[in-house]
Homo-oligomer: A and B are copies of this chain.
Amino acid sequence: MKLAKPIGWAPRALVFLTLAAVGAFLWSSQGSSFAADAPGDANEPAEATRTEAEGADAADGETDGAGDSSVAGESASSVGRDTKWLVAICWLLSVVGSITALWFARKFYLWMMEQDEGNEEMVEIAQAVRDGADAYLKRQYKVVGIFFAAAWLVLMLLSWVADAQHPLVPWAFLTGGAFSGLAGWFGMKTATWASSRTTQGARNSLNEGLQIAFRSGAVMGLTVVGLGLLDICLWFGALWYLQGLLGFEMSLAEITVTMLCFGMGASAQALFARVGGGIFTKAADVGADLVGKVEAGIPEDDKRNPATIADNVGDNVGDVAGMGADLYESYCGSILASAALGVAAFAGNIDLQLRALMLPMMLAAAGIGLSIWGVYLVKTDEDTSQKNLLKALGKGINYSSLAVAGAALVLVLLLLGMENIGLFVSVAVGLLAGWLIGWWTEYCTSDEYAPTQGIAKQAESGPATLIIAGVAEGLYSVWVPIVVIASAILLAFGFSTGGAFGDADKFALGLYGVALGAVGMLSTLGLTLATDAYGPIADNAGGNAQMAGLDPVVRERTDALDSLGNTTAATGKGFAIGSAALTALALMAAYVEEVRVGYERFGKAEVAEVADGEVVKLNKRAVAVKHNGKVETYLVMPKGRSVESKNLAKAVRDVDSGEPVIGVNILASAASGLLVNNETATIPDFIRLYDVTIMNPAVLVGMFMGVMLAFVFCAMTMKAVGRAADGMVQEVRRQFAEDPGILAGTSKPDYANCVSISTKAAQKEMMLPSLLGLTVPIAVGLVLGVGGVMGMLAGGLTSGFAVAIFMANAGGAWDNAKKYIEAGNLGGKGSDAHKAGIVGDTVGDPFKDTSGPSLNILIKLMSMVSVVFAGLIVKFAWDLF
């Protein structure tokens, strides 16, 4: 191995980059302190500005729409010079960060490719896995391509015909999907190239095997974060700097929510990758186990088993590509949602808005740099133990997390100043929450701790008690992640608002804090994903060693790597679920911003032809008016106790949508808070507009729908695995029956057919659950409206999170309980307890690798679909609720 050289100079480059960044900051923040001295930018800038503006409104009864709208509709031209520079520098640094990630990914890839590939048989086996993975991914991308084309068409129709969203949304959607697909492709390519090299490395030493597997995992990690941040930078650059060229004029709010829509591309890609990959891998796994291990009695990964290559392919498509797409989505989603919420939080002060927008991007960029540093921290002596390996991985993650916290402190101070220092706590809380959930997941699923050992013990009374114990432990295990996430939400919100929980003016700031918590949790993704993707590579290396019939010591070493991989995979799964929950929450909050933009578009479309000053009813909740040639949309707040309020409600109720409303005094109604300008409305205003309260039947029913969606989606993926595995069982049985030479070891089984069966089954079976996840949120929105959608998102998030953790932990614990027995405990291999353990493992397979992880996607997908279709819902939802 040639490790010495790359380790030598790379940290130096990083130090240089960091110094450059800090230098640029110090320079630009000098400028920013000028801006901070400007009037109206006092201690609590957003509130102060808004309060003053409103105080003026209320006092002299004048609601100047033009004045109001300039606040939010500000374009690049009206931004202070210092902030312009600051934004430019931040943007450039983010671009540099993303390119650095990609550059290091390439570097690790090239380094891995230089390593020895092993003997001919090893190469051949690796080639078969590679071919299978390629075939799967090509087919998957074909199906996904068709879906994307169709969805693109729908979005185009929505924006051009129904005028329900920005014309750029379909394109944003496409790039999100394309970049995510690219990351998956690169990651899987790397993983499949790396497996035989890892095996070969393990022939030399445990450490060498670790290094190859881990660096290859880092390729995936860095590709995901690099492409994710790059896509965000490119879109922001285009929309901010080139909007004149592109012929659009967009407010900062519009820019951020349009960018948010690119998350749906990533979301859809992740859906297919996770669900399809999950079905593929478990169909192959269950099929291979049931016929090979149980019926024919041959060991795992035996080359006589026709499904063994498919099983190895499955590890790559499920755990590498699927996990990568999942976290790519969380990564982009959290950054985009916090950008949108940052813009909302500092409404009325475009300088601060831009700084708030840059903060998550800068955090991501800093996280990339520190992740790369962390990758280099993972090194051990040549003759090391497994415990030391784990320690080395932990060291990398812990040090870079701490460093990210430090970077966050600096970034928050430089960008948003001492008065928003609470946002740093939000980021730190997110980091800590991720760490805690990962740790708990390990505790619940590792055979070193009581829960898994307790489950294994139940195997002595047979499979039934083992299953009961696993289900009970899995259900029980949700408490820590829920308490952690709940505390993180309260702390992130509380610290960012200074404890002002009930203050409507600071509400968006609090949600921005929560979203930053998600960004913080995901900032070291480059590294955590590396430890995650490392697992399946090590697993494949073991398969390779077994099939190539290498010296048992090699299999022992790869088993040690695999076992380490299981631990990191468990941590990774907890982390993926935790980040999905926080991201989904941030998206839910950002959804409200989409509703705002939806009303903006709605108003513009409806009053285009109307005379100046005429008030037109949009729907029962909004009116629009043209004021000095500019369209303004006003939200009609729910009927209150005053006579004026009742009169207004009656005036609006009595005309049809699209008709002029008679006798409404916009100025007076706005002054008394009965009408709220859409552009300056707070998130609580929208919540009140739609009565998104728990006792509202539409919201409550929405919650029920969200819970239902989580359960049914989970059930569908599980049933899909059953059906797909059934097909695999038939095929393996057929091959064994038709050619007895296979079991005798004299003829080669038809691996490719098994791969093809799993591939076809995965593509077919992922359709129904995917359609469910994509259409139910739209249907709920059209029937129950915005309130129903938010109820659904909350119900889906809370229950989906719990079910996902239950599934992941129960499955992981059964897997390791079996391994615990295999390690010689409770009777060891071949005992009755072991047989019970195998039943538990098989039950746990779809739990932990298909249904559980698919729920991560679902809870984000629901939010993303709602975000993208918000304009449609605003315009066309049933008027009853």
Q: A865 an interface residue at 8 Å Cβ cutoff? A: no
Is the beta-carbon distance between A697 and B501 smaller than 8 angstroms?
yes
Is the beta-carbon distance between B640 and A673 smaller than 8 angstroms?
yes
Q: A395 an interface residue at 8 Å Cβ cutoff? A: no
- Chain B residues contacting A473 (CB-CB under 8 Å) are 715, 719
- Chain B residues contacting A464 (CB-CB under 8 Å) are 286, 290, 463, 838-840, 842-843
> A775-814: which have CB < 8 Å to B?
790-791, 794-795, 798-799, 801-802, 806
Tell me the nearest residue of chain B to A676, going by C-beta: B641
Q: A102 an interface residue at 8 Å Cβ cutoff? A: no
Tell me the nearest residue of chain B to A589, going by C-beta: B695
Please list 24 pairs of residues, one from A and one from B, whose beta carbons are closer than 8 Å in the complex, sorted by A's number.
Answer: A59-B643, A461-B729, A462-B839, A464-B840, A468-B718, A472-B718, A472-B719, A472-B722, A473-B715, A475-B718, A476-B715, A478-B712, A482-B705, A486-B701, A490-B701, A499-B880, A501-B696, A501-B881, A585-B700, A641-B676, A642-B672, A692-B693, A795-B798, A799-B802
Is the beta-carbon distance between A714 and B479 smaller than 8 angstroms?
no
A719 touching B798 in the complex, CB below 8 Å, given contacts A673-B640, A701-B490: no
> A569-591: which have CB < 8 Å to B?
585, 588-589
Q: Which of A425-433, A502-510, A532-540 contacts B (4 or more CB under 8 A)?
A: A502-510
Is the beta-carbon distance between B642 and A695 smaller than 8 angstroms?
no
Interchain CA distance A83-B639 in the complex, whole Å: 33
- Chain B residues contacting A693 (CB-CB under 8 Å) are 684, 687-688, 692-694
Per-position 1/0 for A662-702, Cβ under 8 A of B: 00000000001100100000011001100111111111110
Q: Which of B638, B708, B881 contacts A482 (CB 8 A)?
A: B708
Interchain CA distance A708-B714 in the complex, whole Å: 18
Q: A467 an interface residue at 8 Å Cβ cutoff? A: yes
- Chain B residues contacting A699 (CB-CB under 8 Å) are 694
Is the beta-carbon distance between A461 and B711 smaller than 8 angstroms?
no
Distance to closest chain B CB from A680 (angstroms): 10
- Number of this chain's copies in the assembly equals 2
Distance to closest chain B CB from A290 (angstroms): 6
- Chain B residues contacting A585 (CB-CB under 8 Å) are 700
Is the beta-carbon distance between B695 and A692 smaller than 8 angstroms?
yes
Distance to closest chain B CB from A834 (angstroms): 14
Is the beta-carbon distance between A722 and B482 smaller than 8 angstroms?
no
- Chain B residues contacting A489 (CB-CB under 8 Å) are 697, 700-701, 704
Q: A846 an interface residue at 8 Å Cβ cutoff? A: yes
Q: A54 an interface residue at 8 Å Cβ cutoff? A: yes
Interchain CA distance A705-B798 in the complex, whole Å: 9
Tell me the nearest residue of chain B to A59, going by C-beta: B643
Per-position 1/0 for A862-881, Cβ under 8 A of B: 00000000000000000011
Tell me the nearest residue of chain B to A720, going by C-beta: B472
Q: A416 an interface residue at 8 Å Cβ cutoff? A: no
Q: Give residues in A with beta carbon < 8 Å to B.
A: 51, 54-55, 58-59, 286, 290, 294, 458, 461-465, 467-469, 471-476, 478-479, 482-483, 485-486, 489-490, 493-494, 499, 501-504, 507, 510-511, 514, 585, 588-589, 592, 620, 638-643, 645-646, 672-673, 676, 683-684, 687-688, 691-701, 703-708, 711-712, 714-716, 718-719, 721-722, 725-726, 729, 790-791, 794-795, 798-799, 801-802, 806, 838-840, 842-843, 846, 880-881
Is the beta-carbon distance between B501 and A880 smaller than 8 angstroms?
yes
Interchain CA distance A706-B801 in the complex, whole Å: 13
Tell me the nearest residue of chain B to A718, going by C-beta: B472
- Chain B residues contacting A697 (CB-CB under 8 Å) are 489-490, 493-494, 501, 510, 514
Is the beta-carbon distance between B643 and A712 smaller than 8 angstroms?
no
Q: Which of B476, B672, B673, B722 contacts A465 (CB 8 A)?
A: B722
A695 touching B507 in the complex, CB below 8 Å, given contacts A642-B58, A703-B794, A705-B482: yes
Tell me the nearest residue of chain B to A51, going by C-beta: B646
Distance to closest chain B CB from A531 (angstroms): 28
- Chain B residues contacting A494 (CB-CB under 8 Å) are 697, 880
Is the beta-carbon distance between A695 and B592 smaller than 8 angstroms?
yes
Interchain CA distance A731-B688 in the complex, whole Å: 61
Is the beta-carbon distance between B707 and A475 smaller than 8 angstroms?
no
Distance to closest chain B CB from A293 (angstroms): 12
- Chain B residues contacting A479 (CB-CB under 8 Å) are 708, 711-712
Distance to closest chain B CB from A877 (angstroms): 13
Tell me the nearest residue of chain B to A725, going by C-beta: B465
- Contacts A474-B715, A478-B711 known; 20 new A-B pairs at CB < 8 A: A286-B464, A286-B465, A290-B462, A467-B843, A468-B842, A472-B722, A473-B715, A475-B712, A475-B715, A482-B705, A485-B704, A489-B700, A489-B701, A490-B698, A499-B880, A501-B698, A683-B695, A687-B695, A692-B693, A692-B695
A503 touching B701 in the complex, CB below 8 Å, given contacts A461-B290, A708-B802, A711-B802: no
- Chain B residues contacting A714 (CB-CB under 8 Å) are 475
- Chain B residues contacting A482 (CB-CB under 8 Å) are 704-705, 707-708
Distance to closest chain B CB from A652 (angstroms): 12
Distance to closest chain B CB from A666 (angstroms): 15
Tell me the nearest residue of chain B to A483, going by C-beta: B708
Is the beta-carbon distance between B638 and A476 smaller than 8 angstroms?
no
Tell me the nearest residue of chain B to A481, going by C-beta: B708
- Chain B residues contacting A801 (CB-CB under 8 Å) are 704, 707
Distance to closest chain B CB from A731 (angstroms): 14
A707 touching B463 in the complex, CB below 8 Å, given contacts A687-B695, A722-B469: no
Distance to closest chain B CB from A646 (angstroms): 8
Tell me the nearest residue of chain B to A691, going by C-beta: B502
A643 touching B711 in the complex, CB below 8 Å, given contacts A502-B881, A694-B687: no
Is the beta-carbon distance between B54 and A641 smaller than 8 angstroms?
yes
Is the beta-carbon distance between A707 and B510 smaller than 8 angstroms?
no
Interchain CA distance A701-B501 in the complex, whole Å: 13
Interchain CA distance A699-B502 in the complex, whole Å: 12
